[in-house]
Amino acid sequence: MTELVNYYNLTVEQVKEEVSLLDVAKIKKYPCTPSNRDAFYEMWNRCGPEAARTAMIPFVWQGLVPRPSEVYGIELQS
| 23-57: pLDDT as tens digits | 999 999 999 999 999 999 999 999 999 999 999 99
pLDDT of amino acid 25: 96
Mean pLDDT across the chain:
95
Q: Is the pLDDT confidence value at 2 over 90?
A: no
Rounded Cα distance between 22 and 40, Å, is 9
Rounded Cα distance between 61 and 23, Å, is 18
Q: Is the pLDDT confidence value at 67 over 80?
A: yes
- 40 and 56 in contact (C-beta within 8 Å)? yes
- 10 and 16 in contact (C-beta within 8 Å)? no
- Please tell me the pTM assigned to this model: 0.92
What share of the chain in percent tops pLDDT 90? Answer: 91
